[in-house]
Amino acid sequence: METKKTLPLDGFTLTYWLDRPAQARHTLMMLHGLASNHTRWSEFAAHTRLRGRWSLLRPDLRGHGESMYRGRISRPRWVADLHRLQVAEGLAPAVVAGHSLGAEIALDWAARHPADCAGLILVDPVVPQCLRGILGMLRRLRWLLWLPIGLLWLGNALGLRKRHFPPRDLWALDRRTRATLAAHPELSIADLYTRPQADFPYLPLANYLQDHFEVSRPLPPLATIHQPVLVIRSRGSALETGNGSRRALARLPDVTFAEVDCDHWPLTEKPDEVRAIIDSWCLTRFPDEAET
C-alpha cells in the first residue's frame, strides 16, 4: 500500500510516496522531469507488474510539487536529497528510473553513489549537446539565466512572490491530452507540452529557470557507469537533433535500447508499451529470489 511520507531536510521538507511490501527485495525510484512532480509516474505505478513485489518510491524533487523550496536547486543537490532519503528509509540499492531531466539525475546518482545504484532506466534521456530548438539555444546561453533568476530571488526576498501553488495531477492531464490528440489529429503533443505558460502556475518561476539550467548541465562520464541501463527513446523527439543521443548513450558499458514510436513523452503517449518494456527488463535483470 502506498503511503505519503515526508523527510525534513535543510530548509524544506521532502515529500515522497512509498509502497514498500514486506517481501520486497528491490527498489524502483522514479524521478520526474522539468517543471513536473511525482504524478508523472502515477499511471505506471498503478499498473506495473512490480507492484506488490518491489518497493516503489516516487519523490517530489526539491522545488517541485509538495517539496516546495525557493532557493538554489541543482542536479547535485537533488542527488544529495535522494541519497539522504534512501538512507533514512533504509532502502536497498535502487533501480533509478527518470524521465528527461529525471534521467540526467539518475545518471548523476549512478556516478556519485554507485554502491547505492542497482541499475538505471532512462526514459527519453536528455543529452545536452543534442538539444535543439529553445532548449538548444538555452544550452548555449545557459549562464545568462542567472540574471533573471537572481532578480526573481531578490523579488522573493522583498515579498514579491506567489504564496500558493495548486496541485498538478499529470496522470489526469495525460488522459485529457490523449483525448485531445485523438479528437484533433492535426495537433502534436509538443504543441501541448512545450508551452511554458502551462507550467508557470505550478512552481516558482526561478525554479522553472533553474530546471532549464540543469537540463543543460553536462552529463557525468558515461563510460564510468557500469550498472545495467535500459534506455527508452522516442523515435520522433521534438527536443533532439538527429540520432546523437543514442550514439552518446552507447558509451554506457551495459546498455539496452528500446525505441517507442512517439515524441518526447513516452509515459503519456504510449504508457502500456513503456510499462511492458520496463516491467520485462526489471523482472529479467533483477529476478525475485523464487525465480532464480
Q: What is the pLDDT of residues 13-53, one digit of tens each?
A: 999 999 999 999 999 999 999 999 999 999 999 999 999 99
In whole angstroms, what is the distance from residue 45 CA to residue 58 CA?
A: 9
Predicted local distance difference test score (pLDDT) of residue 113: 97
Question: 123 with 148: CB under 8 angstroms?
Answer: no
Model confidence, pTM: 0.95
> Could you give the percent of the chain with pLDDT greater than 90?
82
Residue 246: CATH number of its domain: 3.40.50.1820
137 vs 20, residue with greater confidence: 20
- Write the CB contacts of 121 (distance below 8 Å, at least 6 apart in sequence): 28, 95, 96, 97, 98, 106, 229, 230, 232, 278, 281, 282
In whole angstroms, what is the distance from residue 166 CA to residue 231 CA?
A: 32
pLDDT at 4 over 90: yes
| Total domain count, the chain | 1
The band of 292, judged by pLDDT with boundaries at 50, 70 and 90, is: very low
Domain that holds residue 129: 2-291
Q: How far apart are the first and last CA of the chain?
A: 26
User: Over the stretch 219-231, which tens digit does the pLDDT of each residue have?
Assistant: 999 999 999 999 9
Lowest pLDDT segment from 81-85, 189-193, 270-274: 189-193
Predicted local distance difference test score (pLDDT) of residue 243: 77
The band of 240, judged by pLDDT with boundaries at 50, 70 and 90, is: confident
